[in-house]
Structure 1
C-alpha cells in the first residue's frame, strides 16, 4: 500500500479512500493502485483511511466519521509541515465507507476545512445510502431486519434504521440526508457526485440502496437486454438506457427454472446448515463485538481514545472468522424476494406520495407530503419512467423515501454495474482482492478514472 499512497510535495490534490464494514485499508489497494497508475505522485496525494479497520467498523457512522475527519486533518497538516499545500479534495467511499465519508465531509464543512479547498469528486461504490433494511413486507424480510439490526452493534442499528441519532429522534440515515444538515451542505460542495451500483448478486447492499432508487428494474435479468457503455461492455450499463425489456414469453406460465431454484439455494443452506450449527457462534461473536464496541465508544466519549469528541460535536444543522460470519450474513440477506407497495404503478408524483403513505402505515408511521424536486436530468427522469410504467415501488420505510427525495437534489451520475464472473459482486466491484474472478472490477475502476474522476 505504501507504494501507492502518499504523494510528493508538488501534489495539490488529496484523494481519500474509505473502506467498508469488516474492512481494512487493503480492501482499497486496487483503487489506490489504479489511481497511482493514472496520476503520478507529483499530481495526486492519496490517503487510505486506516483508523476504522476491522472490528472498529462496528462502532457506528458517527464515530467512524470522526476518525476519518481526524485522519484528513492530520494529513493536511503533515503535508503543509513539509512545505506542500493541498488545494483540491476528493473522497471515495466503499460500502459502509460511503456513509462514514459523508459524515466526515459534514464535519470538515462545519469546521471550515472545506472553505480552503476545492471539492472535486465524491464517489460512492456499492454504498448503502438508504441503509440495508430490506423492503418491509414478508416474514423473511422482517426476520432479517430484526436479526441484522441487533447483531452488528451500533453500525447495525444505524444501517437498519432503528437508531435515534443524538437528540434528533431520527435515524442517522435520515440526518445524513437532511437538506439543512452540515452533511448535505458539505456534500453539495463537491463538483461531481458519482456512484456505482451492482445490479445483481450484491449480497451486502442491493441495487435500490446503492443506486438511491425506489424501484429495482433488474430483478429479472432474463427478461432484459442489457445496453452497455461503449468501451466498457458487459460491465458498465448505459445510465440513460440501461436495459431494453423483452416481450413476455408466449403460452402459459413459465415453469420454475433451475436458475431461480439455484438462486434460492443460499437461503435453504442458511436454514439447514448455518442456523442450527453456526447461529450460536454467530450470536456469541456478535455479543463479544458489541461489548468491545461499547467499551471503545465509552473511551471515545470520555476522550481516552486519542480524539477529543467535544471538538467534533458541532451543530448538525445549517479476518477468516469475520469473513465466514460476513458470508453467512450476506447469504441470508440475499435470499429473500423484495416486497412491493400495492399502489406503485402510478402516473404522477401525487400517486408516488400515496404509495409512500402506504409504506408509512405498514411501518407504523406517517408519510411526508413533500414533493420530489424536479428537473434533475436524464437519469432521474429515467428512474421515474421505470417506476411508473414498468416497475413497482419497493416497500421501503418512510425514512428511506425521505432520503431518496433529499439525495435526488444532487446531480448524481449513476452507473449500474453487472458483474458476471462471481456471485459476490459486492467485493468484485472494486477488486477487493486481486483474483481472476474479480477482474471485471478493473473495468469499473478504469471507467471511473477515465470518465468520471476530475483531477
Structure 2
C-alpha cells in the first residue's frame, strides 16, 4: 500500500481516499494503485484516510467526517512544512466513505480550507447518498428499517434516517443535502462530481440510493436491453441511454430434469436459511450490542476532546445564506430479499416518518409523476428532496453491472485482489482515464 500512497513534493494535486463501513485503508489499495499507474508521484499526492478504520466507522458520519477533515488539514500542513505546495484537491469515497467525505467537504468549506485550493474531483463508488432505508410501505417498513437502524450504532441510525441531527430535527442524510447547508455549498465547488452505482447484486447499498434515482429500471434485467460505454462493454452502462426495450423472447417450458436440477441447487441455500443464518444472526446481534457500547464510549471521548481532536474547532455553523456567513453484512441478505415497493396514486399511509405538510406535498407530487412503465419507489420525503438537490448540483452517473460475483459491493472498487473482482478494475480504469480531472 505504501508504494502507491504519498507522493513527491513536486505534486500540486492532493487526492484523498475514504473507505467504507467496517473498512480500513487496505480496501482502497486498488483505487490508489490505479491512480498511481496513471499519474506519477510528481503529479498526484495520495492520502488514504485511516482514522476511521474498523469499528470506528460505527461512530457516525459526523464523527467520521471530523476525523477525515483533520487528516486532510494535517496532511496539507505537513506537505507545506516540507516545502510542497498543494494547489488542487480531489476527494473519493467508497460506500459509507462517500457520506463521510461529503461531511468533511462541508467542514473544509466552512473552515476556509478550500478557499486556497482548486476543487477538482468528487467521486463516489457505491455510496448510499439516500441512506439504506428499504423502499417499503406500512408496518413492514417500520419493522425492517427500524430493526436495521439499531444494529450499527450511530452510523446505523443515520444510514436508516431515524436520527435527529443536532437541533435540526432532521436526519443527517437530509441535512447533508439541504441546499442552504455548508455540505451542498462545499460540494458545489468541485469541477466534477461523479458516481458509480451497481445496478444489481449490491446487497449493502442498492441502486436507487447509490445512483440517486427514484426509480429502478434494473429490477428485471431480462426485460431490458442494456447499452454499454464503448470500450468498457459488459461493465459500464451508457449514462445517457443505459437501457432500452428488450427484443421478444421465445419462452420454452422447462424440462423435468431442468426443474429437478434447479431445486437440487437450492438445497445449500435451504440449509443455510434453516441452520446457519439463525446462528449467524444471533452472533451478529451480540456483536452489534458490543460494538454499539464501545462506539458510545468512543463518541463520548471524541466529544470531550480526549480522542485527540478539539471538536469545538469543527462544530461550525451548518447553514449559509446568499453570502456565506459560516467561516468555520447480517442484514445484507435480508435487505436484498425484500421486494422494493412503489408509490400508488391511492396511497394514504402518510409521509413515512414525515407528517409535515411539506412531506405530504412531496409525496403527492411524486405520486402524480410516477409512470406505470417506470413506477416511483416508495421513498421518504427527505430522500426525494435529496435527489432533487443533488441532481441540481450535477452528477455524472455511471451504472455498473458486475457479473462475476453474487455480491457486487466489494467488487466495484476491487476491494481485494481476487480474480472474480476484475470487473472492478474496469470501473477504476474508466474513472482514471475518462473522468478524473488532473
Could you say whether these structures have the same fold, taking a TM-score greater than 0.5 normalized by the shorter chain as the test? Answer: yes
**Which residue pairs with 1:394 in the alignment?**
377
What is aligned with 1:55?
55
Which residue pairs with 2:128 in the alignment?
128
Compared CA separation, residues 67 and 142, structure 1 to 2 (3 A): same
Distance 1:251 1:281 in 2: 44
Partner of 1:365: 355
What are the residue-to-residue correspondences of 1:308-319 with 2, within 5 Å?
A: 308-318=310-320
Cα deviation per residue 1:85-125 (whole Å; 9 max; x = unaligned)? 10000000000000000000000000000000000000000
The question of whether the paired residues in 2 share the 8 Å contact of 1:107 and 1:312 is answered with yes
In structure 1, distance between residues paired with 2:135 and 2:37: 41
Looking at structure 1, the residues matched to 21 and 242 of structure 2 have their Cα atoms a distance apart, in angstroms, of 29
- TM superposition shift of 1:10: 0.4
TM-score (norm 1): 0.87
Q: Which runs of 5+ in 1 are unaligned?
A: 319-325, 344-354, 373-385
2:366 equivalent in structure 1: none
Q: 2:269 & 2:160 partners in 1: Cα distance?
A: 20
Equivalent position of 1:9 in the other structure: 9
Shift of 1:55: 0.1
Please give the alpha-carbon distance, in whole angstroms, between the structure 1 residues aligned to 2:240 and 2:416.
31
Residue 273 of structure 1: how far off its partner (Å): 3.2
**Equivalents in 1 of 2:429, 2:402: separation in Å?**
15
The equivalent residue for 2:284 is 282
Going from structure 1 to structure 2, the CA distance change for 1:164 and 1:413 (only over 3 Å counts) comes to same
Provide the C-alpha distance between the structure 2 equivalents of 1:333 and 1:445, rounded to a whole number of angstroms: 27
2:313 and 2:267 map into 1 onto residues whose CA distance is 50
- In structure 2, what is the Cα distance between the partners aligned to 1:370 and 1:423? 39
Query: Where does residue 118 of structure 2 map in the other structure?
Result: 118
Q: Is the 8 A contact 2:87 2:118 kept in 1?
A: yes
Distance apart, 1:333 and its partner CA: 1.4
Aligned residue-pair number: 423
Deviation of 1:279 (Å): 2.6
* Aligned partner (choices 388, 407, 413) of residue 424 of structure 1: 407
In terms of mean alpha carbon deviation, does 389-398 or 72-81 score higher? 389-398
User: CA separation in 1, counterparts of 2:408 and 2:18?
Assistant: 18
**In 2: Cα distance, 1:263 partner to 1:417 partner:** 28
> Where does residue 106 of structure 1 map in the other structure?
106
Name the residue aligned to 1:146: 146
> Shift in Å at residue 261 of structure 1?
8.8
How far does the alpha carbon of each residue in 1:316-372 deviate from its partner, in whole angstroms, 9 at most, with x for none? 001xxxxxxx2x3211111111111113xxxxxxxxxxx9x8674344524448889
Unaligned regions of 5+ residues in structure 2, if any?
A: 321-328, 364-368
Deviations 1:61-81 (A, max 9, x none): 000000000000000000000
Matching of residues 212-291 of structure 1 within 5 Å: 212-246=212-246, 271-291=273-293
- Closer/same/farther in 2, CA of residues 169 and 253 from structure 1, 3 Å limit: farther
| Cα-to-partner distance string for 1:186-237 (whole Å, 9 max, x where unaligned) | 0000000000000000010000000011000000001111110000000000
The 8 Å contact of residues 362 and 381 in structure 2, kept in 1 or not, is answered as: no
Paired residues of 2:15 and 2:44 also in contact (CA < 8 A)? yes
Aligned positions of 1:409-420 closer than 5 A: 409-420=392-403
Match status 1:211 vs 2:211: yes
1:276 Cα offset (Å): 2.9
Q: Is the 8 A contact 1:195 1:412 kept in 2?
A: yes
Partner-residue secondary structure (3-state), 2:275: helix
Q: How far apart, CA to CA, are the structure 1 residues paired with 2:74 and 2:172? A: 26
Aligned residue for 2:281, secondary structure, equals helix
Per-residue deviation, 1:398: 1.2
Alignment correspondent of 2:41 = 41
Distance 1:35 1:167 in 2: 40
Against the structure 1 CA distance between its residues 217 and 260, is the aligned structure 2 distance closer, same or farther, given a 3 Å change threshold? farther
Conserved? CA contact 2:153–2:295, under 8 Å: yes
Q: Which deviates further from its counterpart, 66-75 or 236-245?
A: 236-245
* Partners of 2:47 and 2:135 in 1: CA distance: 36
CA shift digits 1:39-86 (9 cap, x unpaired): 000000000000000000000000000000000000000000000010
Superimposed CA distance per residue, residues 430-451 of structure 1 (whole angstroms, 9 cap, x where no aligned partner): 1000110000001000100111
Q: 1:454 to 1:154 in 2, by over 3 A?
A: same
TM-score normalised over the length of structure 2: 0.90
Q: Which residue of 1 aligns with 2:325?
A: none
